[in-house]
Amino acid sequence: MVNYRLKVSAASGYDAESVADVPVNTDTPIEIDSAGAHSSILVRIQNFAGYPDGSPRTNAYFGYKEHEYDMYAIRFDVTFKADTSFDDVLFGNDFDRPIRDHLPYGFGMAYKIFNYAIDPSATGDVYADKPYLYGYAVTSINTISQDEETEFLKEDMTKIIPVEGDLKIPPIPAGRRKFFLHDPNRTKFVFKAGETYKFDFFNPYIDMGHEFALKLPGYNLGIMKYWDGQPLRYVLKSKSTGKPFFALLFELVPQD
């Protein structure tokens, strides 16, 4: 029986000439430069036992009560190279090959749970030749800020969105995500060129460190039985051009 370990890597796009290994659970970010943005990325995984050898099994991040139930987190600071509409920045997963023949029984119900309870903005086609599932960054990412954090990043959109007339943006993540579900609201704002925006995406539903399982409310699924060999790829990308600002790959590789 082959044992697998997780390796995380990052690139500037789908066809990038170089892919860099990501040091997991350290506070040293990986720097990715693409045509559209410069990104500084940290990956944190609870109970991590993957590559590179000697990686910390956890991070102080998971010791705070706000994150004690999270299984992994992707923190990225992005400096866009041109003014970029909130409506043009997508975040999510995609694959190079079909996965439709590997989807487990009940996956349709799991997707409905995810779409209703976790990210109503997410749209995609898991049955396509190149499957995908994207949400808008401003509706799918847990925390967005431009402030300096102390222990961990906290929501603060006050520097990002000016107060204009009667337009009121809810100050909490849930309110911000609901507000930007409406298309006209996203088109009113841009990420300004040259300014750095901080994002933190965290998740208590996918166990990458211990048993490789998907755990949604009322639904628990071991991943290895259905895995087809492809990495799980997260991308921050432009909706209009289809080009990533960065791509992050979570890949299971045979243990040495």
pLDDT of residue 168: 73
Reported as a single tens digit per residue, the pLDDT across 115-148 is 666 677 788 888 899 999 999 999 999 999 988 7
pLDDT of residue 164: 56
Whether omega for the bond prior to residue 52 falls within 30 degrees of 0, making it cis, is yes
pLDDT of residue 159: 80
213-216 vs 219-222, strand pairing mode:
antiparallel
Between CA 92 and CA 134 the distance in angstroms is 4
pLDDT of residue 256: 63
pLDDT of residue 62: 96
Q: Could you tell me which residues come within 8 angstroms of residue 221 by beta carbon, excluding any fewer than 6 positions away?
A: 104, 106, 110, 213, 214, 215
Q: Give all strands of the β-sheet with 143-145 in edge-to-edge order.
A: 30-33, 37-45, 72-80, 196-203, 143-145
pLDDT of residue 225: 75
Query: SS3 letters for 167-194?
Result: ECCCCCHHHHHHHCCCHHHHHCCEECCC
Between CA 19 and CA 231 the distance in angstroms is 13
Between CA 239 and CA 32 the distance in angstroms is 19
Q: Provide the residue ranges of all domains of the chain, joining segments of one domain with +.
A: 4-254
Token readout for 81 is 């190279």
What residue type is assigned to position 213 of the chain? A
Reported as a single tens digit per residue, the pLDDT across 70-86 is 999 999 999 999 999 99
Is residue 181 classed exposed, middle or buried when 0-12, 13-18 and 19+ CB atoms within 10 A define those classes? middle
- Write down the pTM of the prediction: 0.91
pLDDT of residue 165: 54
Of 134, 136, 126, which Cα lies nearest the Cα of 93? 134
In the chain (256 residues long), the average pLDDT of successive 10-residue segments reads 84 88 94 97 95 93 94 96 97 91 72 68 86 94 86 85 67 89 91 96 87 73 77 96 96 82
pLDDT of residue 118: 66
pLDDT of residue 6: 92
Between CA 69 and CA 62 the distance in angstroms is 8
